[in-house]
Structure 1
Amino acid sequence: MGNVTRLRHALPLSQDINKALTELDSSIAKAIHAAKAAGLPQGLIVAELQGHAHAQTSIMVG
């Protein structure tokens, strides 16, 4: 896990990181709204997000 940065050690966050985080959050929110509008069940949306979170966690600790 040497490539993982704990946010409390990186505070204050740089403008680049803040911008990237804001863009990520906005993109995720837009994708969720689009999925809901397309009729995907909320449970499927949550499962998809959880799957990605699990995969990224596995990459970080692997």
Structure 2
Amino acid sequence: MSNVTRLRHALPMGQDITKALGELDSTIAKAVDAAKGAGLPQGLIVGLLHGHAHAQTQQMVMQ
């Protein structure tokens, strides 16, 4: 896991990281709002987000 950076050790974060985090957060929020608007059950949305988070964590650990 040598490619993992603890954000608290990288503070202050660069503008590029701050911008990317803001864009990621905004995009996720818009996608969740769209899914809710389309009538997807909230539990399904949460489950999908949790699954993606788990998969990304697995990739990070295995690298």
TM-score by length of 2: 0.97
Runs of 4+ in structure 1 displaced over 3 angstroms? Answer: none
RMSD: 0.3
> How many pairs were matched up?
62
List runs of 5+ in structure 1 lacking aligned partners. none
Unaligned 5+ residue runs, structure 2?
none
**Secondary structure of 2:8's partner?**
helix
Residue 35, structure 1, aligned to residue 35, structure 2: yes
**Aligned AA (2:60):** M
Percent identity, aligned pairs only?
Answer: 76
Give the TM-score normalised by structure 1.
Answer: 0.98
1:24 alignment partner in structure 2: 24
Alpha-carbon separation, structure 2, partners of 1:44 and 1:11: 35
